[in-house]
Amino acid sequence: MATSRTTVHPTPKSIASYVRKNAKHVKKSQRHKHQSSESVREADYKGHHIVVRTHYEIEVDGRVVMGHMGVSNDGQVHYHPVPNLSFASAVDLVKQLIEIFPDDFGSRGHRMHRKKANTTRHGHMHM
């Protein structure tokens, strides 16, 4: 059954108030980058518990790519900033990133080196 929350019309004041209240979630998502990604897959088979850890570090022309890369249990590789695609190959995925984010990689052959930021031993970078 639809509740009253599905019928209450927002106002500019209510929008501002809720955004103020929820801004901490946006800020949190903005702070978390990864110089490397670790994907953990777990499964149970014939009474055995399987854990597969996959570690990725990606660079394009020396530029470290810092979104999170993951692997699903069927082996498909995905990248959080591109939510509708998955790939059989991490290299194919990175090629697609260059297509989707042309502003972030400069012109062809232009090497963009970034100063490495301080990282924790797990490779997470807090900006």
Partner 1 sequence: MAITRPNLLTNAIARQKYADGVNLLKREFTGPTTKSLGIPGPSRSVSTYDLFVVWHHTAMTTMTPPTQGDRNAAHRGPVFCPWHRFMLRQLELNLQRVLNDNTFGLPYWDWAADGQKPSSQQKTSSIWASDAMGGSGNPVKTGPFRLNSADPKSFRIRIEADVDGTLIQRSHGLRRAIGTTVSTLPNKADTTAVLTLTPYDVSPWDTTSSGFRNRAEGWASPGAPALHNRVHVWVGGDMLPSSSPNDPIFYMNHCNVDRIWEAWLMKYGRHYVPPQSAPTFLKGHRINDQMSSLVSAPMRPTDVLDMRSIYVYDSLSV
Residues near partner 1, by CB under 8 A: 1-3, 5-16, 18-20, 22-23, 25-27, 29-33, 37, 39-40, 65-68, 70, 72-74, 76, 78, 80-86, 96-97, 99-101, 103-105, 127
Pick 6 or 118: Cβ nearer partner 1: 6
Tell me how far, at minimum, the Cβ of 106 lies from partner 1, in Å. 12
Tell me how far, at minimum, the Cβ of 69 lies from partner 1, in Å. 8
DSSP string, 65-122: E-S-EEE-TTS-EEETTEEEEEES-HHHHHHHHHHH-GGGT-STT-----PPPP--TT
